[in-house]
Every structure is written in C-alpha cells, then in structure tokens.
Structure 1
Amino acid sequence: MLALITASFAPERRARAMGWFGAVMGLGGVCGQVLGGLLLQADLFGLGWRTIFLVNVPVGVPAALLATRVLPRAEARTAPRLDVAGVLGVSSGLGLALAPLVLGREEGWPLWTWLSLGASLPVLAATLLWERRTAEPVVDLALFRVRRRVLHAGRTARPGRGGASHPAGRPGAHAGDHPAVAVAPPDGAAGGDSGTPVRDRVLDRRV
C-alpha cells in the first residue's frame, strides 16, 4: 500500500495521502477488534469464528471492482530477472546454518550438526561472491554499506569561564551558519586575544 501511494501521488500530495492511510489503519485496528468480538458473540448462521473472515467478502469484492476503475494503471516495465543461483545459495546456506542451531541441542549435537555448520560457511561465502558479480542480485550488498558520519562536538563550558558550542562544528562560524547562536573564536585563534575569556555573542534572530 505504501508503494502504491508513493507511485500514485505527487510529492506535494503524498504527505496528505500518508496521513489518511495512517488514520484509516489506526481506526481499522480499533474497530476490527470490536466488530470481530460482536460477530463472534452474534454467531451468525452458526458459523462461529468463520464470520470474522467471511465479512471481508462483501467489502473486498466491491473494493476490488472499484479499484480497477479508480486506481491509475501502472506503466509497463521490464520485469527483473530472478537470480536463481542467489536464491539457492542463500536458502541452502541459511538452512545449513539454522538447522543444527535449532535441532542441535535437542539431538545432543551429533556429528551432522557440526558438519552442517561447517558446510554453511563456504556456501554463504560463495553466494556473497556471486551476489557481488551478478547484475541483478537477490541480495543487494550495497544496502549494507553504511557510511559513518562524524558529528563535530562543540566546546563545552569550562568552570569559571563562559563557553558555548561552535555552530556547525567550526570555530568562529558566521551568524548565518547557525539559527540561534554564534560565538567568538577560541583563545589564540585569529581575531581573538590570548588569555582573554571568550565572549559569547547571542544573536537575537527575528523571523
């Protein structure tokens, strides 16, 4: 549903559509439990718990017919090819690793559990090498490349002296670099006198 909203609505209207989607989902989560309890208590036609599923039929069928006329048609796109080797490699590698971990303790860790764990390593390694070389991998390894960004911490106040954090992590930054506060350069820096306390300059920013 979220993908359908993203593809169907322009960026300026997408936030409103997301808001309606969240409201409907929240209301449905509350009303569904109440109506489900009422249907179970009513026991319509002697169906018991089956009514909470059958009630979707008179609602879902008209909704599906209406969707064919209201929802925009998706543009034809080339379907991606299935990475069969990647699917087999990931499935077999995870299966070889998870099966002994789940069953090993109850079985007393027999020889096959250790052989299975050992075999999972080369299978997963070969699968990763294949995924790096294939054009359309089933597991996109680029998603796991997280770039660490260092956040510059400002100066903290020292006892007996005035202190403030530098805007944007740079000493002597200009007023426009920070929405509220700018400070003078640190001691000994260009434009500041050595041995003189740093004076904080608070800018009264009027919007």
Structure 2
Amino acid sequence: MTIKVDKVLDAKGLACPMPVVKTKKMMDQIEPGQVLLVEATDRGSLTDMKGWAKNTGNQYLGSREEGQVLYHYLRKSDPSETKEVEEYPNVVGNDDLKEKINITETTILDVREPAEYVFSHIPGAISIPLGELDERIDEISKDNEIYVVCRTGNRSNMAAQLLDQKGFKKVFNVKPGMTEWDGPTEKES
C-alpha cells in the first residue's frame, strides 16, 4: 500500500530543532487535508514530529525507516483544529540549573533520545525520552522541583507542558539546554 503524499520535505542531516522548524514552514504552505512527507536522519525527529503534531493539532500519521532515513507522514488539519505551539511559561536558563545540581529536592529530567544522553548529560539527570514520558511519568516525584532539559529547549518545552497537564506544579523548562551547557557533564560507560 502506498500513501499519497502532496509535498516532500528533505530534512536529512539537520538536527533538532530544524526538522520541526522546516516542517512548520512547509505545513503553512500546504492545504488542510494534504499529507507532508518529512525525510529526516535525526533520531530525535521521531519524538519531535509526534510531539509537534500533537501540540499543534495536526495529525501525525506515522513513520517508517529505511537505512538511516526516517520518513514521517503528517496531515495538515483544518485551521479550526490547529493552534500554535505555546511556550511553557516557567523558563530558566542554564546558569539557573547549574545552581540546582546536587540539591536533593531537585529532579533534572533529560528528555533527549538515549543516544544523546549516553554521550553527555548533566550529572544526576534522569533519562526519560519525550516519547516515553507519558507512560513513565510515575518515575518522577511531584514533590520535587523538576528542571526539564533537552538539546535546545523545544522537546523540553513539550515535556514541561505534559508534566503540567499531569498535575506537576514545580516544573521549569531549561533553555537553551545542552547545546550551550558549559556546566559539569558525564557519560555512560
């Protein structure tokens, strides 16, 4: 079975947040009901595309993988069904997070993909990729302040919103995240 595609977006070689940024621009150029195929090589795009579609009201149809390329299928929804991705209001910078490392009432939640986390993460950070957060939410204490980090602040924005919707009240999105993190890091051996 083949899927009728109206537009194809080449996002190969681009890292977060660029596949989503380019997807948003292309979705603005197509009509409701049309299907966009996004070709990407960034493994994080699997979660990013699902999260972006969910947060905007567009429809994530699915993905398939061939070799190193991920093929994401998205359907543009009617304007009455869509919305702009909102910026989570509680945003802190990297320097603010540095002051919270090693405080027992603080949870640093890293929502990047496992491959990103393994090679460099903030000491003590809990790794729960954005795509797994909903089903693993019980692993996080609602009593702690939660600092959500990703590569650039986009996935962490979506994660912070999800935590807030699930009743977590002390949640902070860390921007710009690991791309400009100059604090301590460690890697898995």
Interval of TM-score (by shorter of Structure 1 and Structure 2): under 0.3
Give the TM-score of the pair, scaled to structure 1. Answer: 0.15
Instruction: Point out the structure with max Rg over C-alpha.
Output: 1
Query: Which structure ranks higher in relative contact order (CA pairs < 8 Å, sequence separation ≥ 6)?
Result: 2
**Larger helix fraction of residues:** 1
